[in-house]
Structure 1
Amino acid sequence: MKKIKFGLGTQILIGLILGVAVGAAFYGDPAIEGYLKPIGDMFIRLIKMIVVPIVVSSLVVGIAGVGDAKKLGKIGGKTILFFEVVTTIAIVMGLIIANVVKPGIGIENIGSLAKTNIASYVNTAESAGHHSFADTFVNVVPTNVFDVLAKGDMLAIIFFSVMFGLGLASIGEKGKTVLKLCEGVMETMFWVTNQVMKFAPFGVFALIGSTVAKFGLNSLIPLGKLVITVYGAMILFVFLVLGVIAKLYGLNIINFIKVLKDELILAYTTASSEAVLPNIMQKMEKMGCPKAITSFVIPTGYSFNLTGSTLYQAIAAIFLAQLYGIDLPISTQINLMLVLMLTSKGIAGVPGVSFVVLLATLGSVGIPAEGLAFIAGVDRFMDMARTVVNVIGNALAAVVISKWEKQYDIQKEEEVLRKIA
């Protein structure tokens, strides 16, 4: 009898379904959260453990391969321009959808909504409120390399890795031993990643199970219109905006999603972009993007190209204004868009970044930040959707920049697409 083998994506989906079932069965029981949460936390910690070594080693190897600061600067400029255009479209689209659908209208009694404690985000948001765009660029340069490596400050890590890679390329033969070491670290960490991914179904089961046990599926009912609006907006953005961009560069967005299927399932179920960063980098290289571009574009996108997050933030801000009966004129919404463009870059990478950005932003347009306590209970379910959009956007960016630079290997793409056909 032939043994049935389930792929990683299928295993993760099974973990998700079982997690929802167990969480719903034990809703309100603090003991089950105590059992499940440590397993989920351990999986997230395993992911965080592997991200920094992979980003550093991949970037150093990729940049040393480019070996030209002028060429790298050109790639960097195009990357940031692309990110800014796409995230601005996401914010504008979020504002339009929220104004048309009006998800905050019709909830008669705000007091009927369960509130969640958001105190843990407040201090970070207060410091973020005074965080200017200039501060973002200043903080890209680390004062202590080991400090930013420990904190996982991605922009500072990228800056150091790029400089180190350029340094290795400039010293020629003397740098080859260090480059070999970095290549060895990179290959080793990809092996570690494959082992960590075997634990993913259990991590997903625990993460979703503890969330449902804590908040319950019934928490979705009063805020159902918001959740549906966010999911609808995410789907529309992927197929309309990202779909058009993909088409312009010779890709079918549905085929592209099929290529990323396993990574998207993992990103959705864990609500963590970091969980799939190593796999996305590998997969984009297999699809035809050069290492130098994937190792720069994808990690940078985790700070500058969070399209799903910015789309959600725009919708959530208008939702809260509608919830409190606050009329926001066009001028105020334009101001909101500009503030979101700055704050979403300035504090990217911190825990609960979407919540922190909203807390730091709402006061600037007169919306009570306390309203976020009403939607915190369902934020996890919306976070899952916006994480998927972030991942698709960053993976697509690697393809776009590679084709922009005429460094894309179309034969590799054809081989990958043939396998999923």
Structure 2
Amino acid sequence: MVRATLLRLATASVLAAALLSALVTVGVWRIGEAEGERTAQRVSTQVAAAVLVSLAGRDFTDPARVDRPALLADLAPFLDSGMIYRIKVWAIRGEAAWVAFSDEQRYEATSRPFDPGLARRLDAGEVVVFGVRDDAEHRYESDRADGLREVFIGFRDAVGNPARLEVYVPVDVDGTVRYAMVVLLPLALLGVALLATAMLPLAVALGRRIDRDRREREDALHYGLAAAELARRELAHELHDGVIPGLASAGLLLDAAATVGPPRSATLVADARARIRDDIRQLRSLLSGLTSSCAGPAEALGRLVAGMQGGPRIDLEIADGPEIGDGAVTLLHRVTGEVLRNAVTHSGASHVRVRIHVRDGLVHAVVADDGGGFDPAAPARPGHIGLLLVRRAVEDAGGTIAIRTGAGTGTEVEITLPATMSGSPSGSVSGPPPGGGSGR
């Protein structure tokens, strides 16, 4: 599971890196486009500030009055330095706009329909930026259209007619994107790598915990199956060696009584009745062990302690107090029995003390021994998961369990349960009967 968890972490990290790279690329490209527009606006505004006074003093409605050499001389510093790539001056004539001047003379006298939307924006003083389209109007710029932005600035010529200054400004969007990617993408990927590295210990711990929980579940299942099989065998043994022979012998006595006369028959019947009473008492004892909630805590736990005599001395103390519900008695019998079996079987103790009392609606059960102690944080050994089952059963019932132990200092397990629970608790411990042993 640790390997699978690490593989999932690596896969998630790669996917996160790919997604982040895509987002960074899109973001950087948009930044590059926006930076290209800002550059085009800034350059065209500088050019306009330098040449608009000269342009506004000329009449562009009459081609004969356009002094082309003078205009080229005014614009030469911007064109020669590469600050701008192309410039056009549009004059408005009725429903059409035509090129009155351009550094590319082949554009002059060409026209296009009047654009009222563009006119409103320019008349409002807006500087309008467009990308260069691949069409006849831009036929001499289309070979480097990706590196150009066309900017329109409105003005009026010497006779008051509306005119448009169109400036083509070189922009390096690709270079801006590449530079930003070189700077930002490694940082983004480094962030993902650092995050994955920081999560690595957590992923390993989580994988190990999942492995441990899975093993505990498997052990719990095997333990439950083994405990059920052991209980079944114990019950079968009791019935086979005790109840069934007694009933069979009672049947034989009754058969014999039917073939003999008084007073011999009366003796045989009385003997059969005695055997049947013994078998009934034995069956009730077995039934009582299976349904401990039918008895109070003192009786149920008293039988439990009596069945464990022969090892360390066990003292049972049950304080007088409010009545405990059948569900609480059942679970208390099972979890206390499991802890007590652990102490008797595994602790090496000479004395075990069990104390039960009820306070504030809670049942407190303390099992303390003077044995060798153990490490409660250590994983349970295979087949030794009694305390794990106890903990789960208690927590499922809304209770708590506290373990205080240490090497050579003995062990004290305190279990707290609600004094009233409806029915049999779902988280009950299915352990073997006394003498089976469960292990910690």
TM-score tier by shorter-chain length is under 0.3
Give the structure with the higher percent strand: 2
Give the structure with the higher percent helix: 1
TM-score (norm 1): 0.19
The structure, 1 or 2, with the larger RCO (C-alpha pairs under 8 Å, 6+ apart) is 1
TM-score (norm 2): 0.18
Please say which structure displays the higher CA radius of gyration.
Answer: 2
